[in-house]
């Protein structure tokens, strides 16, 4: 099969102006953290309604920094979802705290806010919800719980740039919000992420944690008073991210059009009646980072993925349940602990969705799914 016939599940869209801008950064001689990183942070701050924003080398480290800013460590617990990229809970382990999982709502696939309160203990310090596939978790319920129990909220908004909650942009309100700019996200800086900080957060400490804890004064003064990491964003990456941010609304609008086209195509072939679960039809709040289906149990996901791949359609798995990884089983977690996450995680499949997709690509995916499911007797 010709490589041009392959439809990936995602592809970044980098325009020529951004490519030329990166060349200018390279020619400038200042390619690590510098003026473009500052410009990108300022643009992000404006995008999020004037809140303070710092850029980092990944969306993972931004969550770790937020936990450290809150002083969360050994003996503390952080409540989160078992259906996410494993980084969500790994960062909790990294600071020495314990992730406490709460099962998902099988419809939204986000953490079930109605189950959170039962998981709160005297050791609970924070709630870390994930906006899976760009569909926001129930932030009203989560913030109400956090206020009642004097907890903090760190939103894993890695997939949610441009998503809305009750008409407000995710990241423009609330407590901490962490975003990712990995190449498979709605905008990219190649690798990178940002942390939106609430009022009163220690911005200087957040900046020091980004680069070895270094604090400078004058031309030659330097001190280190905290163990920091190496997670600064380069100017090359920042220039890409800045160019992408200018197009975020355009990208997300196209994603919504494609998502609607998927629903129309799937309705035409009766996918729901054949046992396939579709995502919520939310064209207001979701940024449609991913379009994910859950085939019925009798359809082996790997076989379905291979059959689609044979037709030139690449799919993804986002995500296996975190608590079933060996690292977490070693901590006493086991199958049956979070049945909704396990059911969804065993079958969930990410279909191609990215701004440069053609309408005909959606038709192609639907036709391929139709044909493959018929082979499964559906």
Q: With respect to residue 29, please indicate whether it lies within any of the assigned structural domains.
A: yes
Digit-coded pLDDT (tens) for 205-216: 999 999 999 999
CA distance 37 to 44: 10
Specify whether 185 is catalytic: yes
Do the domain assignments include residue 4?
Answer: no
234 and 303 fall within a common domain: no
High-pLDDT (> 90) share of the chain, %: 99
Task: Pick the last residue of a domain from 193, 219, 245.
Answer: 245
Instruction: Quote the pTM value.
Output: 0.97
| Contact of 152 with 178, CB cutoff 8 Å | no
For residues 288 and 225, membership in a common domain is answered with: no
Q: Of 245, 263, 286, which residue constitutes the final position of a domain? A: 245
17 neighbors 243 (Cβ within 8 angstroms): yes
Residues 181 and 256 in one domain: no
> For 44-80, how does the pLDDT look when each residue is reduced to its tens digit (9 = 90+)?
999 999 999 999 999 999 999 999 999 999 999 999 9
* Region 357-371 average pLDDT: 98
pLDDT digits (tens, 9 = 90+) for 14-47: 999 999 999 999 999 999 999 999 999 999 999 9
Which 3 state secondary structure label does DSSP give 126?
Answer: strand
Q: Judge whether residue 1 has pLDDT over 70.
A: no
pLDDT score recorded for residue 203: 97
Q: Is the pLDDT of residue 242 over 90?
A: yes
| Domain ranges, residue 348 | 248-375
Least Cα distance to 155 among 134, 185, 180, 176 occurs for 176
Question: Which pLDDT score, from 0 to 100, does residue 248 have?
Answer: 98
Same domain as 138, residue 98: yes
Going by pLDDT thresholds of 50, 70 and 90, the confidence category of residue 193 is very high
- The CATH number given to whatever domain includes residue 214 is 3.40.640.10
Q: Which of 39, 68, 185, 334 is catalytic?
A: 185
| 5, part of any domain | no
Residues 96 and 235 in one domain: yes
Q: How far is CA 74 from the centre of its chain?
A: 26
- The confidence score (pLDDT) of residue 102 equals 98
> Please, how many CA atoms are within 13 Å of residue 69, restricted to the half-sphere of its CB?
28
Same domain, yes or no: 331 and 234: no
Encoding tokens for residue 28? 């400038």
Residue 11 lies inside a defined structural domain of this protein: no
Given a cut of 80, is residue 155 above it in pLDDT? Answer: yes
Domain end marker among 185, 211, 245: 245
pLDDT on residue 33: 96
Q: Is residue 7 part of a domain?
A: no
Work out the pLDDT band at 309, boundaries 50, 70, 90.
very high
Q: Which of 144, 182, 370, 136 is nearest to 265 (CA)?
A: 370
Model confidence at 95: pLDDT above 80: yes
**Shared domain check, 275 and 219:** no
Q: Is 53 found in the same domain as 167? A: yes
Task: Judge whether 3 lies within some domain.
Answer: no
Whether 289 and 165 map to the same domain: the answer is no
Q: Do 59 and 207 have their domain in common?
A: yes
Polymer length of the chain: 378
**Per-residue model confidence as pLDDT tens digits over 112-133:** 999 999 999 999 999 999 999 9
130 in a domain, yes or no? Answer: yes
What percent of the chain clears pLDDT 70, i.e. is strictly above it?
99
Do 157 and 180 share a structural domain?
Answer: yes
CATH of the domain at 256: 3.90.1150.10
Mean pLDDT of the chain: 97
At residue 228, what are phi and psi to the nearest 5 degrees? -110, 180
In a domain? residue 9:
no
Q: What would the mean pLDDT of 184-211 be, rounded to a whole number?
A: 97
pLDDT at 209: 97
Q: Is the dihedral of CA 292, 302, 298, 346 positive or negative?
A: negative
Tell me, what's the pLDDT at 2?
67
Is residue 231 domain-shared with residue 349, that is, in the same domain? Answer: no
pLDDT value at position 3? Answer: 64
Number of compact structural domains in the chain: 2
The predicted-structure confidence for 265-286, as pLDDT tens digits, reads as follows: 999 999 999 999 999 999 999 9
């Amino acid at each position: 099969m010709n490589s041009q016939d392959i439809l990936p599940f995602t592809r970044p869209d980098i325009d020529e102006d951004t490519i030329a801008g990166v060349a200018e950064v390279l020619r400038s001689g200042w390619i690590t953290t510098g003026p473009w990183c500052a410009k990108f942070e300022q643009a992000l701050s404006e995008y999020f309604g004037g809140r303070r924003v710092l850029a980092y080398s990944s969306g993972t480290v931004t969550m770790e920094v937020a936990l450290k800013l809150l002083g969360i460590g050994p003996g503390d617990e952080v409540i989160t979802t078992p259906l996410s990229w494993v980084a969500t809970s790994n960062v909790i382990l990294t600071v020495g705290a314990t992730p406490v999982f709460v099962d998902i709502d099988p419809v939204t696939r986000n953490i079930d806010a109605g189950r959170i309160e039962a998981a709160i203990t005297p050791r609970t310090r924070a709630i870390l919800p994930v906006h899976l596939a760009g569909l926001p978790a129930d932030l009203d319920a989560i913030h109400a719980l956090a206020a009642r129990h004097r907890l903090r909220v760190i939103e894993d908004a890695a997939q949610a740039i441009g998503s809305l909650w009750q008409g407000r942009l995710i990241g423009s309100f609330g407590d901490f919000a962490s975003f990712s700019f990995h190449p498979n996200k709605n905008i990219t800086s190649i690798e990178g992420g940002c942390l939106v900080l609430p009022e009163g957060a220690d911005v200087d400490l957040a900046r020091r944690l980004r680069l070895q804890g270094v604090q400078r004064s004058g031309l030659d003064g330097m001190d280190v008073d905290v163990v920091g990491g190496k997670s600064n964003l380069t100017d090359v990456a920042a220039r890409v991210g800045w160019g992408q941010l200018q197009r975020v609304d355009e990208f997300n609008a196209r994603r919504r059009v494609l998502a609607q086209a998927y629903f129309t195509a799937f309705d035409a072939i009766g996918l729901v009646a054949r046992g396939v679960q579709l995502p919520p039809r939310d064209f207001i709040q979701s940024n449609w980072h991913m379009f994910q289906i859950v085939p019925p149990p009798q359809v082996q996901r790997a076989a379905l993925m291979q059959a689609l791949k044979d037709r030139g359609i690449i799919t993804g798995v986002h995500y296996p349940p975190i608590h079933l990884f060996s690292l977490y089983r070693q901590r006493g977690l086991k199958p049956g602990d979070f049945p909704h996450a396990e059911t969804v995680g065993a079958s969930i499949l990410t279909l191609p969705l990215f701004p440069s997709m053609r309408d005909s690509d959606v038709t192609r995916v639907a036709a391929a799914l139709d044909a493959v499911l018929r082979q499964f007797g559906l």
